[in-house]
Amino acid sequence: MAEIGRIAEVAGYLWEKGWAERNGGNISVNLTDTLTPGELAMEPVQAGIALQEPAGELKGDVFYVTGTGKRMRYVAQAPFANGALIRIAGDGASYDILAEKPIPPTSELPSHLLMHNYLRASGRQTKVVLHTHPTDLIGLTHCRPYLDSDKLTRLLWSMIPECRIIVPKGIGIVPYEIPGTLALAHATIRQLSRHDVVFWEKHGILAVGEDIIDCFDAIDTLSKSAQIFFSARAAGYEPEGMNDRQLDDLADAFQL
Ligand code: 13P
Ligand code: ZN
């Protein structure tokens, strides 16, 4: 399970970045394609846990998910003491916990599974949902004028060329909802038809993708843009930002 090593690597980055206070953030990765038939058929340590909403596209799929209340800095050190493998049941309505201890999954499981389910139904190869709490990006969601997808995307793209290239679909914004709720989950999947990165107002950021390192990099690049913006402001000037022409030229040059 080489993928577990990459999950642990990213969990360590989240902590080092200061994006993972206490148990902040959570990760789910669909491991089905990487597991042997024996691993996929593992005996559960806890079976038949009902899902709040069925995930019919994910029948039989196995995910690594971080545990609720678990700290990213410890996920980095011991992924299976701070997370679990879960397998979605054949009817898509419940899941089993397979290994190693019956660690209850993240409270954001409804969002994670709804996203995986939606993305699979859309024919995408997404394997990863990464949710974290970057200080600078969350800070931007406290500013009403920036709670606008086009405006915030434009601002962050314009701070550094890489942002336009690495986050080509820009960012979606979900108005504040109580963490862990189906309401948050449903509002989030509505953003995924257009975006791979979604901001949860006054709470956190999530990225979806095929590869966990790419998901981390997308959020890290957005965070870099936010830091450039805030440091210019702190120095007493309004950052000029790249202009529309410069951003469009990047789209042409990189076929975005
Ligand atoms: P969990 O510890 O349940 O994963 O919750 C952390 C979090 O960030 C909720 O959004
Ligand atoms: Zn959170």
Distance CA(67)–CA(45), nearest Å, equals 15
Starting at the edge strand that comes first in sequence, how are the strands of the sheet with 46-50 ordered?
Answer: 46-50, 94-99, 83-88, 62-66, 26-30, 128-132, 204-209, 197-200, 171-174
Confidence (pLDDT) at 100: 72
Q: Indicate which atom in ligand 1 lies nearest the CA of residue 69.
A: 2
- pLDDT band of residue 234 (cuts 50, 70, 90) is very high
Q: In this structure, which residue's CA is closest to atom 4 in ligand 1?
A: 106
Query: Does 204 have pLDDT greater than 80?
Result: yes
Residue 22 Cα to ligand 1 middle (Å): 9
Residues in the ligand 1 pocket, defined by CB under 6 Å: 23-26, 66, 68-69, 106-108, 179
Exposed, middle or buried, 32 (CB in 10 Å: 0-12/13-18/19+)?
Answer: middle
> Which ligand is in closest contact with the Cα of 202?
2
Q: pLDDT tens digits, residue range 105-119?
A: 999 999 999 999 999
Residue 101: band (very low, low, confident or very high) from pLDDT cuts 50, 70, 90: confident
Tokens (6 digits) for 140:
């931007």
Q: Please give the number of the atom of ligand 1 that sits closest to the Cα of 131.
A: 8
Distance 219 CA to ligand 1 centre (A): 17
Provide the pLDDT confidence category of residue 2 given band limits of 50, 70 and 90: confident
CA of 131 to the centre of ligand 2 (A): 6
| 8 A C-beta contact, residue 85 and residue 31 | yes
Catalytic residue from among 108, 177, 201, 210:
108
Answer yes or no: 108 catalytic: yes
Atom of ligand 1 nearest to the CA of 25: 8
Q: Tell me how far the alpha carbon of residue 237 lies from the centroid of ligand 2, in angstroms.
A: 32
Measured in degrees and rounded to the nearest 5, phi and psi for residue 175 equal: -60, 155
Instruction: Quote the CA–CA distance of 136 and 154 in Å, as a whole number.
Output: 16
pLDDT interval class at 1 (50, 70, 90): confident
**Does an H or E element contain 198, and which?**
strand 197-200
Across the range 153-181, mean pLDDT stands at 98
Q: Tens digit of pLDDT for each residue in 38-62?
A: 999 999 999 999 999 999 999 999 9
| CB neighbour burial string for 149-174, b if at least 16 within 10 angstroms, e if fewer | beebbbbbbbbbbebbebbbebbbbb
In degrees to the nearest 10, what's the CA dihedral of 26, 203, 167, 172?
120
Q: What is the DSSP letter of 95?
A: E
Mean pLDDT of 4-16: 98
- Closest to 57 in 3D by CA, of 9, 98, 118, 105: 118
